[in-house]
Amino acid sequence: MSKVYAAFLNCEAAIRRTIAKYCPQPADVDELTHETFLKCFAAERKADIREPERLLLFAAKNVALSEIKKKRNTTTDYIEDAPYSTDIVDRNQHDPEQHLNSRRKLAAFTIIIAQLSEDDRKILLMRKIDGMKYSQIATRMNISVSTVQKRLAASLTKCTQNMIATGYTPDEFGGKADSPKPDQAAAETSKTEWNADND
Amino acid sequence: MTNEKKILSLPTRQRREAQAAEWVTKLDADTVSAIDRARFDQWMSSSEKNRECYYRIAKAWSALDDLEELQHLAESDDVAELLKQNRRQSRKIVQSIGAMAAMLIIGFSTWVALPYLNTQTYKYEAFISTAVGEMQNIQLPDGSLIKANTNTHLVIHYSKNSRDINLLRGEAFFEVAHAPDRPFSVVAGDRQVRAVGTAFNVRLREAKLAVTVEEGRVALINKKAMLVQNKNPENNAAQELTQISAGQRAVFDTDIEELEVLQAENLQRRLSWRNGILSFSGEPLSFMISEVSRYSNVEIEIADESLKDMPVAGYFKVGEVDAMLEVLDLMSDVTIERIDQNKVRLTKK
């Protein structure tokens, strides 16, 4: 398990309290808590985190503060109110709803891979983030190519199960940003479908 | 999970998922053998459920590609800020470890020194060491005071009949409490400076001892010279090379090499380091550089021979090498060339 994730589990309540202190809207607390975790987990890829709990709380405060700043800006100038608004719309800009969904998914997936063992996570991310070949990973980790494949298969099984448990359906896995987030009921039905898969 | 049937089915489902995951990761490898491909085709065609499961797991595998976003996040400014904070925290840990080590050392030395302090008040031993640029005041149990200058090591050894200070390196100023029955001596190798109630400065430099007296009188002694000249070591007066008094400065080793009488103002200038100030008036540039260098790790090289004797004047705070260089640059025809953080070269303009 990743150091940051272990610390996150330990002090999630404190992180939520920190965020709630700055952001009075309870609906945002979930998102910002996940954002806090994502940032610290990303930081863990870059350096050894000596005091993950303190870093998480520090990040929570920063995330909450920058959210307030963003909120203030959006409440003061509405882009639709600006004249010639159609001209300023950035075509490459993501729909905020889409962005939120993909962010939520990233947080969910990150929490899932954070639970893998140190080596398994390393191997998976070498493949998925760094795009390394199995043979390169094998050399780096000093294991055989077939062990790399076996470890990846084991991680994949775990991750799939956890994705479903978190409410993500295989159709959503595909990760097209515009696929709507299904409500809880839809997730439930798909889960039962698979459960019925028996011989 | 209320249905009993579902629970029973799980092992089968799990096995199938594990098989599917094996295939997904095998097919994603650098090369896929023909045998594997044939086996895969067979596995897929053997059951509808296998196919369904394979697609589900394959979707999950490709969904994990989204993790790439983590890398973008890792490169973001927000994370850079977090990493900065992380480094600060690590430094704090290192610092607190350092502080703890220092406390242990202090605790230990107190524990070592305590028996001496308690049982016999006149017995006292200590080792004093200052780093480059550091100064330290030491208050001694008899009321004497030592001010140790930069980069100085000295050992204090007080006993019933004597007060000995062993100057191993550097420079120190001594204000000696009057106690005629316990002579106060500063020893550096064979050389010795003996005082009764007085204030004087001793500097060990290139195997020579420079002594400046501010108050009272001190005797300069060299034990080796004494033996060569076959004098009786028990006879105090015979041991002495000479005595110097307030306002005098002597440099000696086996014999007196320099002896000068300093004007009051000049005397204070020589001792101004005690207040953290270096003062020069008409000394050669090379002297000023060597004096200033004692207080910092910056190495200053005078590249032009003719510059070395150039007379200089100025008044600097100890350790302010940059300020000195700035003044040199402004006031004289010296060019300052910064080679790196710890090296500076002076040339003629």
Tens-place pLDDT, residues A134-177: 888 888 888 888 899 999 999 999 888 888 887 777 666 654 33
Q: d(Cα A42, Cα B9) in Å, to the nearest integer?
A: 38
Nearest chain A alpha carbon to B55: A170
Asked if B52 lies within 8 A of A128 by C-beta distance, the reply is: no
Asked if B89 lies within 8 A of A153 by C-beta distance, the reply is: no
Domains of chain B, by residue range, sit at 12-69, 76-113, 120-262, 276-348
Mean pLDDT along residues B19-39: 87
pLDDT band at A188, cuts 50/70/90? Answer: very low
Instruction: Kindly tell me if the per-residue pLDDT of B297 is higher than 90.
Output: no
Task: Classify the C-alpha dihedral B266-B268-B274-B280 as positive or negative.
Answer: negative
Bigger pLDDT: A5 or A178?
A: A5
Instruction: Kindly tell me if the per-residue pLDDT of B344 is higher than 80.
Output: yes
| Within-domain flag for A106 | yes
Separation of CA B297 from chain center: 10
A122 and A73, same structural domain? no
pLDDT band at A185, cuts 50/70/90? Answer: very low
Mean pLDDT along residues B102-110: 76
A31 and A67, same structural domain? yes
DSSP states of A56-93: HHHHHHHHHHHHHHHHHHHHH--GGGSTTHHHH--TTS
Q: What pLDDT score was predicted for residue B114?
A: 61
Bigger pLDDT: B123 or B344?
A: B344
Asked if B66 lies within 8 A of A46 by C-beta distance, the reply is: no
Asked if B74 lies within 8 A of A45 by C-beta distance, the reply is: yes
On the question of a common fold for B120-262 and B276-348, the answer reads no
Cβ atoms of residues A120 and A91 within 8 Å: no
Q: What is the pLDDT of residues B54-77, one digit of tens each?
A: 888 888 888 888 888 888 888 888
Q: Residue A50: give the domain boundaries.
A: 1-82
A77 and A1, same structural domain? yes
Q: Is the CB of A188 inside 8 Å of chain B's CB atoms?
A: no
Q: Which of A129, A157, A196 sits opposite B17 (nearest CB)?
A: A157
Asked if B12 lies within 8 A of A199 by C-beta distance, the reply is: yes
The correct answer on CATH 3.30.390.10 for the domain covering B276-348 is: no
Q: What pLDDT score was predicted for residue B173?
A: 93
How many structural domains comprise chain A? 2
pLDDT band at B186, cuts 50/70/90? Answer: very high
Bigger pLDDT: B252 or B114?
A: B252
Give B103 to chain A, closest Cα distance, Å.
23
Q: Is the CB of A166 inside 8 Å of chain B's CB atoms?
A: no
Q: Is the CB of A118 inside 8 Å of chain B's CB atoms?
A: no
Give the residues across from B129 on adjacent strands. B153
Q: What is the pLDDT of residues A95-145, one digit of tens each?
A: 667 777 778 888 888 888 888 888 999 999 989 888 888 888 888 888 888
CATH number at residue A147: 1.10.10.10
Instruction: Kindly tell me if the per-residue pLDDT of B263 is higher than 70.
Output: yes
User: In the predicted model, what is the mean pLDDT of chain B?
Assistant: 81
The correct answer on CATH 2.60.120.1440 for the domain covering B120-262 is: yes
Cβ atoms of residues B135 and B145 within 8 Å: no
Q: What is the pLDDT of residues B214-225, one digit of tens each?
A: 888 888 888 776
Q: What pLDDT score was predicted for residue B228?
A: 58
Q: What pLDDT score was predicted for residue B171?
A: 92
Measured torsion, CA atoms of residues B1, B6, B8, B10, in degrees rounded to the nearest 10:
-90
| Within-domain flag for A119 | yes
A151 and A105, same structural domain? yes
Asked if A58 lies within 8 A of B82 by C-beta distance, the reply is: yes
Give A159 to chain B, closest Cα distance, Å.
8
Residues in chain A with CB shorter than 8 Å from the CB of B66 are 102, 105-106, 109, 175
Mean pLDDT along residues A12-37: 83
Q: Is the CB of A162 inside 8 Å of chain B's CB atoms?
A: no
Instruction: Kindly tell me if the per-residue pLDDT of B118 is higher than 80.
Output: no
> Which of B317, B271, B281, B288 lies closest to B133 in space, CA to CA?
B317
Residues in chain A with CB shorter than 8 Å from the CB of B25 are 149, 152-153, 156
| Within-domain flag for A167 | yes
Give B48 to chain A, closest Cα distance, Å.
11
Q: Which of A45, A152, A195 sits opposite B25 (nearest CB)?
A: A152
Cα separation values, A87 from A28, A83, A92, Å? 31, 9, 13
| Within-domain flag for A190 | no
Mean pLDDT along residues B121-140: 83
Question: Does pTM top 0.80 for this prediction?
Answer: no
| Within-domain flag for A160 | yes
Instruction: Kindly tell me if the per-residue pLDDT of B192 is higher than 70.
Output: yes
Give A46 to chain B, closest Cα distance, Å.
7
Q: What pLDDT score was predicted for residue B165?
A: 92
| Within-domain flag for A90 | no
Q: What is the pLDDT of residues B224-246, one digit of tens each?
A: 766 655 555 555 555 688 888 88
CATH number at residue A19: 1.10.1740
Interface residue of B1, B24, B67 to substitute, partner A, most A CBs within 10 Å: B67
Residue reference for tokens 């975790």? A37
| Within-domain flag for A60 | yes
A53 and A121, same structural domain? no
Asked if A106 lies within 8 A of B5 by C-beta distance, the reply is: no
A64 and A3, same structural domain? yes
B228 exposure class (CB count in 10 Å sphere: 0-12, 13-18, 19+): exposed
Strand B277-284 and strand B311-317: the pairing is antiparallel
Q: What is the pLDDT of residues A48-102, one digit of tens each?
A: 877 888 888 888 888 888 877 776 665 555 555 555 544 445 545 556 677 777 7
> Which of B15, B31, B42 lies closest to A149 in space, CA to CA?
B31
A103 and A55, same structural domain? no
Q: What pLDDT score was predicted for residue B3?
A: 46
| Within-domain flag for A65 | yes
> Which of B136, B186, B181 lies closest to B157 in space, CA to CA?
B186
